Structure 1
């Protein structure tokens, strides 16, 4: 077996993905099947290829067993705490803004929990009520109310947090008591170093170049603006803002070159890189992509100390196995999956395609080294884009058609940015070299400005980041695989690869444009916040009306992310029916991220937050688009907002409200404080959103009993109601 660790690692990853997909006893059954096949293969191991099959099946069996122990031993005991209250003690492991002090706690490593029979060593996602005067890895204790982690319309929060061993969330219900530990250890040292370097970049570089450098060099994306993030996503180069193998290998190359200037031998130079890769991984916070690259770098330079050469694909398999063995949840993490698939694509191209492309260019008279590198870059980028396409389509429902070109343009700038960034860090840390900081800053500003301009210009090209139905994208993807399979089958008679590629591109572009046309007049009513169902978005043909910004800043960011994923940058009307502190904070966050043409709410609160028109929150009627009408009726703490569009009527209730029997309402969304005197009459099915744990009797003050014809969705988050031309409403759940 030529690459045993590659077989083991990729089999382990595939099995864990299947285990999380099927879950429960089906995972155990699949594990048993793999074990049986693995044992059977042992009896035929003398046959060609049986060693690889044996290793694959046995690795899969171990993976299924690991999944079962992970779920029953770690996930279930911790997630069972949801709905209970307890007093906890632990250490602060993350702040909400990824800073080391002066902000809200977002993650705690719990070491003591007062709830009976609760685990005493786990990590939780923490929702704090205010800022604390603390630093990372300080001790904290307080009373909390546990709650389950839920997906949103735009974000797979369950898998993301599970990959980071976060299985439950907790909401602060008492004041936090903070104490300093005697010794914080190496983690606090690297966290402090990251903070100081990030601060130096933000103050020493102009504009958004400091935020870009901090994200690319240190993994600190807290200062990256929404506009920059959207530009990089639309141009298909958002991976540039993540720590990856490029960072690790370039850092190791710089270390190796510096070590060559020292009077040390070949073994010591490689040892520098073996130590440097894990150290840099600790500095950037150990994201999965950096851990994977660090393991591969340690293997690569470690075997060189013994005059050996490492097989890159084998090293990738070993890195995958080690990460998943200690953190099985990483198998369903999108960033980890993209990192593995993209790295495999690069290594596969270098192994199988690079030499053939070079020979082809030489045979046709093209021998310039620059041309060969450009062609290699384009083809490798296309291969990586194609391999990662299913993951991106499944997660975002959008694809960047210009990603290969953007990668080609930005690759030289990325190298300059990283090299100058490492130099900036070195010069900032060594006082003797501080006079060289301005030179490094110049190159960082130059590369950062060019990258920002290029990504912005590419993202402005029409239809480069279209939305599409995931089912169609999968149909196109596997259809393309079929076309190339046919081309491969007939390769001896006629070369059909070019024709297959052109046909695939035509089908993709035709389908995407058709989808845009068909979805033009479709109305979507989206419930975005399960804690505050008045947070609804009504979207049609690039226009949006938002009712309520959510119950906090996170929900406001979710709203902004959803609208941007729909290609909407400006809200037509933002209606803000609530004036409590959390609602105002959410509204301000939403107005920071998106412009609103019209704001309906408390003028004193939002006049300085928007350049759009502001209407007082009195009884009003507003007509916009071609057939949409909004009616607002507010009295003290209660409000009723009616939205009519396409022959459908949606009512959003805050506080007390009542309906007449003659009213025809298709969708009613209740906030947590809703109290309804009477529901409207009906002649077909109606939909109730956000009744929560309340029964219909709780909602109805009069105790009305005749409620047949109503369908309730207690947790509104993730519900999308779509209809066209007044037809029947169809529901689907995008996340969770």
Structure 2
């Protein structure tokens, strides 16, 4: 059988993904069916001789059984711990990080006590959050009282909870900081402790050498650490389709792998010893970058290539990829729940299968070119790799992010090569800076690396500014189009050897996509969409109607989600921009939006003055409207916005085709509101208002993170109200059609 490990690995991954989506009940039933099919295939001589069908059935049965068994043994007992207070002792096993004003600590639970439970199930690893930073080093110990909860989502389907399981994070918790806790110094120092120490030292070295933005890019490229990146840089790289450069992946491993081999060959180190030293370097790089799935996949493939080279065998890329996938999936029954891992596998598979045919396609059309062939071949190689990865990963990108960059191959062409140069330069700068006696040699490397980082930031920002660089796929028909296109391509490839048929399918699918988007927009031209963006604890509401856009609030940690939403939907102008609070961070977010999008009307309370960058940003708005206690703006025939301010706080009433939506961004006391609450159809809030019993809206939308939602539901008398929440699950769209018809749809962060 040709390439057996490729068959085993890819079938195992596909079946594991299906198991995660449909759940353990399906996995138990399906495993029995596939074991039966395996035994039946052994009695069919033709199938037994070919081997493909029996092996495929056996692999599928094993994948289903392993997933189902792991779920029963490890996952199901976790339900008894959910929403319980516990006293724990845990060991910090990863570097802590900060996000949105919270600090996150990955702990390995050593001891756990829960009142009323004699022998509580040990969850293994958890992520604990705090409001204040803890003075704890890697593999230090912390003891304290926490509240345990499960991540949002169910036990089947792809969700935040499944993603946590893929990282071996079985529970989340927050620390009761006011009840006291104790931190103990590092007692054990396993090999991974030293890898974390090196990682931390290198990060600190780059922070000392360079400004924040350049250091952030270099840390992301070298170590995969994105905590130093601003939201604007992340958004620009995403819009340019080059976000993968900020994640340590196969590209980075290839640079390390080939760079070490060439260096050792240059130093005339014996062949086998070079392979052994390179293997040690690959393992070290995997540890320092945190053993992410993409690094593990590429690392295993590199080690297999080195083993083949040591024994003078020809390595096979597909078999190596299959072995790597199989090992990762059988070790981790939830590996397929990590979209990063799936993207890593599909991008590598695309490079193996598609890059050479695309490269030959370009060569065939430039045979008559006599001059500059070396340059042309280099360009063709980069373009073919970029196109192969883009085409191969497009289905997953659409499913996972609901946005995709239409010019990513151009940005990759401009940015991949500089990134390959920057990686070793960054490593040398961090290495020299971490050794005091050699720190003087770090500055030249830091200077060159910083200039390349500036170039990458500039190119990503420039490309992100191009209209429609980022396209939203947040349409109901997209999944159907994607499935049909993949099916047609499968038929075209396997049922016909003529290239013309493949080109015809490509042309027809492109026409169908464009026609589908156009017809969808045409059929929904009278629909008003009110989008509650998933911004954690805060509110940002985007109203789109008749080619006009209103933004009510950006009361969040940053403007990143709002910016991404506007870019993904091709919005260039903001017709109405209004804050919901008096907090300076909200005004800073709105100022950033005003800089990136042309604002026609900025609504501000009278007497609100700004200085510095905020004042400069406001000057770019076409019009600034000030109000005293209330104001009413008619956006168009379908949308009117009323905002009010009194001693209790601020609130906004959005009137959409006679549907009245109340937007609250503070604990407003509804008992004193100057409004007939019986007329309110929908409430959008980031906190439970005081005297909430006065309001019986038909629909309530909680714009908050998961844990805040869980606490709010306990305080809220739901009654007959339909309750929805963003809670990390994506944006929530409220489509208002004629005759007071309301349709709610779940979107994505894009």
Give per-residue Cα distances to partners, 1:13-42, cap 9 Å, x unaligned: 111111011113112111111211222233
Q: Paired residue for 1:267, among 256, 267, 272?
A: 272
TM-score by length of structure 2 reads 0.83
> 3-state DSSP class of the match of 1:87?
strand
Distance 1:544 1:151 in 2: 31
Match of 1:732 in 2: 745
Are 2:126 and 1:110 equivalent residues in the alignment?
no
Between stretches 654-663 and 373-382, larger displacement belongs to 654-663
Is contact 1:633–1:641 with CA below 8 Å preserved after alignment?
Answer: yes
Are 2:250 and 1:237 equivalent residues in the alignment?
no
Instruction: Report how far residue 338 of structure 1 moved.
Output: 0.4
Structural mapping, 1:340-359, within 5 Å = 340-349=345-354, 358=363
TM-aligned CA distance change 1:494 to 1:291, over 3 Å: closer
Match of 1:523 in 2: 528
Structural mapping, 1:601-680, within 5 Å = 610-611=614-615, 619-623=629-633, 625-626=635-636, 628-633=639-644, 636=647, 640-652=651-663, 654-658=667-671, 663-669=678-684, 671-676=687-692, 678-679=694-695
Instruction: Report how far residue 293 of structure 1 moved.
Output: 0.7
Is contact 2:203–2:430 with CA below 8 Å preserved after alignment?
Answer: no
Are 2:210 and 1:205 equivalent residues in the alignment?
yes
Match of 1:276 in 2: 281
Is contact 1:692–1:715 with CA below 8 Å preserved after alignment?
Answer: no
Match of 1:402 in 2: 407
Distance 1:492 1:144 in 2: 62
Instruction: Report how far residue 429 of structure 1 moved.
Output: 5.0
Structure 1 stretches lacking a partner, 5+ long: 701-706
Match of 1:447 in 2: 452
Distance 2:363 2:96 in 1: 49
Distance 2:542 2:499 in 1: 52
Are 2:142 and 1:130 equivalent residues in the alignment?
no
Q: Paired residue for 1:161, among 151, 160, 164?
A: 164
TM-aligned CA distance change 1:694 to 1:292, over 3 Å: closer
Are 2:223 and 1:218 equivalent residues in the alignment?
yes
CA RMSD of aligned residues (A): 4.0
Match of 1:58 in 2: 58
Distance 2:252 2:593 in 1: 33
Instruction: Report how far residue 732 of structure 1 moved.
Output: 2.3
Are 2:31 and 1:42 equivalent residues in the alignment?
no
Distance 2:105 2:572 in 1: 28
Match of 1:385 in 2: 390
Structure 2 stretches lacking a partner, 5+ long: 619-623, 703-708
State the number of aligned residues. 711
Instruction: Report how far residue 281 of structure 1 moved.
Output: 1.0
> 3-state DSSP class of the match of 2:541?
strand
Distance 2:585 2:124 in 1: 30
TM-aligned CA distance change 1:134 to 1:350, over 3 Å: same
Is contact 2:470–2:567 with CA below 8 Å preserved after alignment?
Answer: no
Instruction: Report how far residue 297 of structure 1 moved.
Output: 0.7
Structural mapping, 1:226-625, within 5 Å = 226-262=231-267, 264-349=269-354, 358=363, 361-362=366-367, 368-428=373-433, 434-481=439-486, 484=489, 495-512=500-517, 515=520, 522-527=527-532, 535=539, 537-540=541-544, 541=547, 543-547=549-553, 549=555, 553=557, 562=565, 565-566=568-569, 572-577=576-581, 587=586, 594=593, 598=602, 610-611=614-615, 619-623=629-633, 625=635
Distance 1:144 1:617 in 2: 46
Match of 2:150 in 1: 148
Is contact 1:217–1:422 with CA below 8 Å preserved after alignment?
Answer: yes
Between stretches 354-363 and 114-123, larger displacement belongs to 354-363
Distance 1:668 1:529 in 2: 16
Give per-residue Cα distances to partners, 1:310-329, cap 9 Å, x unaligned: 21111111111111122222
Is contact 2:240–2:460 with CA below 8 Å preserved after alignment?
Answer: yes
Instruction: Report how far residue 306 of structure 1 moved.
Output: 1.6
TM-score by length of structure 1 reads 0.85
Give per-residue Cα distances to partners, 1:663-710, cap 9 Å, x unaligned: 522213463243246447xxxx9323459788999759xxxxxx8xx5
Distance 2:227 2:110 in 1: 28
> 3-state DSSP class of the match of 1:286?
coil
Are 2:18 and 1:18 equivalent residues in the alignment?
yes
Distance 2:139 2:625 in 1: 47
